[in-house]
């Protein structure tokens, strides 16, 4: 139990230099308000735990906005309702710090409702002091989520009407339904006995954080004589008569004893093994020298299209990966988003000897169409003299253009014969590189492991590429 003391807590600034007021030794709180008492109990606890130097105090918006005038700690002033989020950020950066989020009812239960629920639910190792005075104090006495039924405020001038404004929110009860929070208690600032309970709750909430046990929320009922338009004595009576009925005091969740004391894991900046961890290529991996293809197949602009699931995007990536390994400038751009879930898929690939301009292929020199709709849609776009590759097993109506080269092959049938219909895309890849001679087999094979995660499938994919190449060789002979 802390000793009774007469001097100001060491965890308050001796002089409140940051206040614009000419008077630098009193707080901005109104006479009779509970904030000053709660602040004092917190500051004394910080003193007694010896944690001042590593404490960071969050001041959001409300009467708590000027917490940084008083607390001789690290201070972050933050946006309305966002203290639990900002507290999460700084606590994650400094797990060894003690982060205090000090919030009022408008801030915590209205605009910051989601932030407090989610921070509690993540079990952030922070301590939240929630001052519930059933009103917006700082802005001059407006309706809060905690305003009582019938209570008159400047924005409920006829009294809170449930039909219009709903009912007062019981925050402690709500937070206590979550798994993660360690300790949730509602206390009140009033007589000496209750204030003692507040003192104990403050210390328990901080102690839990010091021991890295997790999230604690202490809801503190407090009077607001200014907002309620009462004298401090009337206000105290009103709190006893009405607020306590709506907001019963008590411990709503307490797992403090169950959870073991833990060491905080300091964040340590390190770059050890970072290139491996980021899966960056080894510097030894060299570009492979390749022979140039015939001029008509140089610098291809490809559009590849089919049904989602046919491996169209993978086919494009293989080409880009192999092209890069052959020293070409390459780009790959997919149709993305909902389109790739089910419907059609297409991608654009460029392989070029010089810096690539538009990655979007509007006039392809090569169209790969693995289904009829793709051929029908894109056939007219192909540049004169270009190449159309299509799967004869799936495209019953062949291309009609006479000014382009056409390569039809039963890719899906060949893939089925290999025992896996999903590698038809690799058969097409083999056919394209075999036909155009843009890339040798070795380069294509070297690219496969970069994209095929299941290494046991590599031989099958290689075989599929070879079958595609064989098809065009047979066709040509």
Partner 1 sequence: MAKQLIKGNEAIVKGAILAGCRFFFGYPITPASEVAEAAAYYMPQVGGTFIQAESEVASINMVYGAAAGNVRVMTASSSPGISLKLEGLSYCAGAELPLVLVDIMRAGPGLGNIAPEQSDYNQIVKGGGHGNYKVIALGPNCAQEMCDLTMLAFDLADKYRNPVVILADGFIGQMEEPVEFPEAYASFPDKPWALHANADDEHRLITSIQLEPEMLEQHNIHLQEKYRIISENEVRYEDYMVDDAELVLIGYGVVSRILQTVVDDLRAEGKKVGMLRPVSLWPFPSAHIAELGDRVKNFLVVELSNGQMVDDVRLALMGKTPVHFYNRMGGMVPSPEEIYAQVKTIWEA
Site for partner 1 in 299-318 (CB under 8 A): 317
Residue position matching structure tokens 């970069």: 450
**Looking at beta carbons only, is 196 or 358 nearer to partner 1?**
358
Name the minimum Å distance from CB 151 to partner 1.
29
Q: What pairing do the DSSP bridges indicate for beta strands 183-188 and 250-254?
A: antiparallel
Of the pair 123, 408, the CB lying nearest partner 1 is at 123
Return the structure tokens found at 352. 């070029």
Of 2, 114, 161, 475, the one binding partner 1 (CB under 8 A) is 114
Closest distance to partner 1 from the beta carbon of 383 (Å): 11
Considering only residues 80 to 109 of the shown chain, the ones binding partner 1 according to CB under 8 A are: 82, 85-94, 96-97
269 binds partner 1 (CB under 8 A): yes
Cα separation, 34 vs 131, whole angstroms: 9
Find the binder of partner 1 among 43, 78, 393, 423 (CB under 8 A): 78
Q: What track of x and - describes contact with partner 1 for positions 185 through 214 (by CB under 8 A)?
A: ------------------------------
Three-state DSSP at 293 gives coil
Handedness of CA 377, 380, 383, 384 (dihedral sign): positive
Q: Is 25 in the site for partner 1 (CB under 8 A)?
A: no
| Half-sphere exposure at residue 5, Cβ-oriented, CA atoms within 13 angstroms | 14
CB of 459 to partner 1, least distance (A): 23
Instruction: Tell whether residue 275 is a contact of partner 1 (CB under 8 A).
Output: yes
Find the shortest distance in angstroms from Cβ 470 to partner 1: 27
Give the residue, chosen from 192, 241, 257, 270, that forms a contact with partner 1 under the rule CB under 8 A. 270
Q: Is 122 in the site for partner 1 (CB under 8 A)?
A: yes
User: Which pairing describes strands 344-352 and 301-307: parallel, antiparallel, or unpaired?
Assistant: antiparallel
How crowded is residue 254: how many other Cβ atoms within 10 Å of its Cβ? 16
Q: CB–CB of 369/404 below 8 Å? A: no
Q: Where are the beta strands (DSSP E) in 133-249?
A: 183-188, 216-221
Residues 442-461 that bind partner 1 (CB under 8 A): 450
Distance CA 89, CA 40 (A): 26
**Which backbone phi and psi does 12 adopt, to 5 degrees?**
-100, 150
Regarding 331 and contact with partner 1 (CB under 8 A), the answer is yes
249, 333, 406, 457: which one contacts partner 1 (CB under 8 A)? 333
């Amino acid at each position: 139990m802390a000793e009774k003391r007469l001097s100001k807590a060491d965890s308050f600034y001796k002089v409140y230099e940051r206040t614009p007021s000419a008077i630098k030794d009193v707080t901005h709180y109104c006479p009779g308000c509970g904030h000053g008492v709660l602040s004092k109990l917190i500051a004394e606890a910080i003193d007694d735990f010896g944690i001042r130097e590593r404490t960071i105090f969050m001041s959001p918006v409300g009467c708590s906005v000027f917490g940084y005038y008083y607390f001789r700690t690290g201070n972050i002033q933050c946006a309305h309702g966002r203290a639990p989020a900002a507290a999460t950020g700084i606590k994650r950066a400094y797990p060894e710090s003690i982060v205090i989020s000090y919030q009022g009812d408008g801030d915590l239960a209205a605009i910051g409702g989601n932030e407090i629920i989610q921070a509690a639910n993540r079990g952030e190792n922070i301590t939240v002091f929630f001052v519930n005075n059933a009103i917006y104090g700082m802005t001059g006495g407006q309706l809060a989520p905690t305003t009582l039924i019938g209570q008159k405020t400047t924005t409920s001038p006829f009294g809170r009407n449930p039909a219009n404004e709903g009912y007062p929110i019981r925050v402690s009860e709500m937070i206590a339904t979550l798994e993660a929070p360690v300790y949730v208690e509602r206390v009140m600032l009033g007589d000496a006995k209750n204030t003692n309970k507040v003192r104990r709750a403050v210390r328990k909430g901080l102690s839990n954080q010091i021991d890295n046990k997790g999230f604690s929320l202490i809801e503190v009922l407090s009077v607001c004589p200014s907002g309620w338009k009462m004298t401090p004595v009337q206000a105290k009576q009103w709190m006893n008569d009405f607020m306590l009925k709506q907001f019963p005091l008590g411990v709503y969740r307490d797992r403090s004893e169950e959870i073991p004391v833990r060491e905080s894991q300091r964040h340590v900046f390190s770059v050890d093994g970072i290139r491996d961890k980021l899966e960056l290529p080894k510097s030894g991996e060299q570009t492979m020298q390749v022979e140039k293809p015939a001029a008509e197949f140089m610098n291809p602009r490809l559009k590849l299209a089919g049904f989602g699931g046919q491996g169209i995007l993978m086919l494009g990536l293989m080409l880009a990966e192999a092209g890069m390994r052959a020293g070409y400038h390459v780009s790959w751009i997919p149709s993305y988003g909902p389109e790739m879930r089910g419907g059609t898929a297409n991608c654009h690939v460029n392989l070029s000897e010089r810096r690539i301009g538009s990655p979007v292929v509007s006039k392809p020199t090569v169209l790969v169409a693995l289904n009829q709709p793709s051929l029908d849609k894109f056939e007219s776009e192909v540049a004169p003299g270009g190449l159309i590759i299509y799967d004869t097993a799936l495209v019953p109506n062949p291309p009609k253009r006479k000014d382009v080269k056409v390569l039809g092959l039963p890719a899906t049938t060949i893939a089925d014969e290999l025992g896996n219909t999903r590698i038809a895309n690799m058969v097409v890849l083999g056919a394209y590189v075999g036909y155009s001679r843009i890339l040798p087999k070795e380069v294509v094979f070297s690219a496969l492991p970069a994209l095929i995660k299941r290494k046991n499938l590599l031989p099958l994919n290689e075989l599929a590429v070879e079958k595609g190449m064989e098809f065009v060789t047979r066709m040509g002979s």
